Structure 1
Amino acid sequence: MGMNSPAMGSRQTTIGMSDSLTERIITTVAEADEQSGDELKPLYNVINTEALESLFASRADGSSRPDGKISFQYVGYWVTVSSDGTVEVEAEDR
């Protein structure tokens, strides 16, 4: 596993907003852990992905939500999602 790689640390990404938040989280963690997203434990086993998507979705009128972020643990990483679409991943043992 990539947890002990020299590139370990934090990783941040803001992938195109057409990607779902769930996809961005999985992609960012998979890159940090140097494996395929298919190899990771399902994200929905850790957090309610529908609620997470809704929390950061645009309002009904299309405007963005106010500033905010949420952090949770996922497969050895702290994942922080911000309302601007940024997904930040940091190894738990840092």
Structure 2
Amino acid sequence: MVEGGDTVVDPSNRPPSQAVIEAVAEAEGVPPEDLAPPAYEPLHAVVDPDALDALFAARSEGADRPGGTVSFRFCSYDVTVDGDGRVTLEESIEPAD
């Protein structure tokens, strides 16, 4: 678990949706394949993984997209994905829905 601070996963060649899964799994101390129902909510319950990946993918002509971020709650974490592929987790202080 994340203890009293943020967890940041550096960018790599993996799609943002996979980076989110891997970051939360690491924070939870489980393998990514174990981050599944019924113990954990699916990513697609809170954000469309394909849309998340497309948001940060290169444009059709190959040009990079301008920077930006997207944030959402997933598995009791406030997740932020930014334009360079970095995923930041912060334990949410709000109770789960």
TM range, normalised to the smaller chain? 0.7 to 0.9
Gaps of 5+ in 2: 36-40
Q: Normalised by the size of structure 2, how large is the TM-score?
A: 0.81
Equivalent residues of 1:30, 1:37 under 8 A apart: yes
Gaps of 5+ in 1: none
Q: Normalised by the size of structure 1, how large is the TM-score?
A: 0.83
Q: How many residues align?
A: 89
User: Of the candidates 29, 34, 41, which is equivalent to residue 29 of structure 2?
Assistant: 34
Farther off after superposition, 82-91 or 40-49: 40-49
Query: What is the CA–CA distance in structure 1 between the aligned matches of 2:86 and 2:92, rounded to whole Å?
Result: 19
Q: Superposition RMSD on alpha carbons, in Å? A: 1.8
* Percentage of identical aligned residues: 34
Farther off after superposition, 38-47 or 64-73: 38-47
Aligned to 1:91: 91
- What is the SS of the residue equivalent to 2:7? strand
